[in-house]
């Protein structure tokens, strides 16, 4: 209870807490960096509650590491698919939803690009970003004010990506899996081309590369303006030139760690905001919502269209898997009956895993 009066501060931005407690300029920058990596926004716009949770439970607890899933991120996907199928769920790949069907003022199912209709028993839950979900709704299905407010929800910029396969012969033995390069602390961590992240997952899990090779992912996290790329033809010389210019910063960052990088490269793939938009199918290749803790709250899964729920990282603070999981759990919790809740509790108690 002694901390009771502090609770209200958790609602605001993390910078308000730093203001009274941290004066060292480098630590202030470092906190900005941690906020940016977590939420896509600096400390002035990141929720204090989110940072308190991460500091207390996720980053600085004994035995916590920054890791990489064994088997790559595909292993996470496979685990989710196993869970889905174990409980009778069915996964449909290459099943692009063309439109959400609305009947008698209620989301009744979806129409796929193939023309097939899938009817909903309880609800339609969209995990596409809110901006992409709005594109799937027939005109007039939602109140105009709601649509405009959601469309106008601020977005983080996009990414530049560099995927490399390199020859690892005699590579420095102290190579680490993760590096963060900040080119200029004074520019601020959100400045385009200033922050570069590097992961070399095959160091931790050799199955991710052929023997004697490494796979490397380098990226500028959520700080590449989409406007630079908008409308460019991906087959044009202008696109190729811009790609070369904007990817240079990633090579330079990696060369600080692997100086003879160029002679080692065997596979090189550069991705731009247009690649990010196309492959991840996210509106303007955005990292996610840029909702400042100073001004707004995340919308949550509920929508004004009965039977339509939205989950994913545009509905819950964080941008990342915790946001996706939390919004999914909230929605499942709301839709499940009391009987289903009781059954699940009985299963959890019986398993002893709680």
Ligand X SMILES: Cc1cc2nc3c(=O)[nH]c(=O)nc-3n(C[C@H](O)[C@H](O)[C@H](O)COP(=O)(O)OP(=O)(O)OC[C@H]3O[C@@H](n4cnc5c(N)ncnc54)[C@H](O)[C@@H]3O)c2cc1C
x/- track of binding to ligand X for residues 315-334 (CB under 6 A): ----xxx--x----------
Q: Is 80 in the site for ligand X (CB under 6 A)?
A: no
Q: Which is nearer to ligand X, 12 or 320 (CB)?
A: 320
Do residues 214 and 203 touch, judged by C-beta distance below 8 A? yes
Please identify which residue in 42, 201, 289, 312 interacts with ligand X, judged by CB under 6 A: 312
3-state class (DSSP) for residue 294: coil
What order do you get walking across the sheet with 195-199 strand by strand?
178-182, 195-199, 213-224, 158-167, 265-271
- Nearest in space to 204 (alpha carbons), one of 216, 192, 193: 216
Q: Is 313 in the site for ligand X (CB under 6 A)?
A: yes
Distance of alpha carbon 264 from alpha carbon 281, whole angstroms? 32
Please identify which residue in 17, 54, 97, 310 interacts with ligand X, judged by CB under 6 A: 97
Smallest distance from ligand X to CB 83, Å: 15
H helix or E strand, kind and range, residue 307: none
Smallest distance from ligand X to CB 226, Å: 14
Smallest distance from ligand X to CB 350, Å: 31
Q: Which is nearer to ligand X, 27 or 321 (CB)?
A: 321
x/- track of binding to ligand X for residues 187-226 (CB under 6 A): --------------------------------x-------
Q: Which two tokens stand for residue 304?
A: 């004004």
Q: Which is nearer to ligand X, 297 or 348 (CB)?
A: 297
47: DSSP letter = B
Distance of alpha carbon 228 from alpha carbon 239, whole angstroms? 10
Q: What phi and psi, each to the nearest 5 degrees, are found at residue 151?
A: -60, -35
Chain residues binding ligand X by CB under 6 A are 96-97, 127-129, 132, 136, 159, 219, 280-282, 288, 312-313, 319-321, 324
């Amino acid at each position: 209870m002694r901390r009771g009066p502090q609770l209200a501060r958790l609602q605001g931005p993390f910078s308000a807490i730093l203001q009274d407690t941290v004066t060292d300029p480098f630590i202030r920058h470092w906190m900005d960096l941690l906020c940016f990596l977590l939420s896509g926004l600096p400390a002035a716009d990141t929720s204090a509650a989110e940072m308190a949770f991460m500091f207390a439970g996720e980053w600085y607890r004994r035995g916590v590491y920054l890791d990489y899933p064994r088997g790559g991120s595909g292993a996470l996907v496979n685990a989710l698919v196993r869970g889905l199928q174990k409980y009778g769920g069915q996964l449909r790949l290459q099943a692009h939803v063309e439109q959400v069907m609305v009947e008698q003022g209620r989301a009744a199912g979806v129409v796929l690009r193939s023309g097939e209709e899938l009817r909903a028993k309880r609800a339609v839950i969209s995990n596409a970003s809110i901006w992409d979900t709005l594109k799937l709704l027939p005109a007039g299905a939602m109140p105009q004010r709601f649509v405009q407010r959601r469309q106008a929800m601020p977005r983080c910029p996009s990414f530049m990506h560099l995927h490399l396969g390199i020859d690892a012969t005699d590579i420095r033995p102290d190579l680490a899996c993760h590096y963060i390069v900040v080119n200029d602390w004074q520019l601020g961590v959100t400045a385009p081309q200033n922050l570069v992240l590097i992961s070399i997952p095959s160091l931790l899990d050799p199955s991710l590369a052929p023997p004697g090779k490494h796979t490397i992912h380098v990226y500028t996290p959520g700080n590449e303006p989409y406007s630079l790329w908008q409308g460019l033809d991906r087959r044009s010389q202008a696109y190729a030139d811009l790609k070369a210019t904007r990817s240079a910063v990633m090579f330079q960052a990696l060369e600080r760690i692997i100086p003879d990088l160029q002679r080692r490269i065997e596979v090189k793939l550069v991705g731009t905001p247009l690649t990010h938009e196309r492959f991840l199918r996210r509106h303007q290749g955005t990292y996610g919502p840029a909702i400042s803790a100073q001004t707004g709250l995340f919308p949550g899964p509920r929508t004004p269209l009965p039977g339509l729920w939205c989950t994913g990282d545009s509905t819950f603070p964080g941008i990342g898997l915790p946001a996706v999981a939390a919004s999914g759990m909230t929605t499942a919790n709301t839709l499940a009956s009391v009987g289903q809740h009781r059954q699940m509790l009985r299963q959890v108690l019986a398993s002893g895993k709680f």
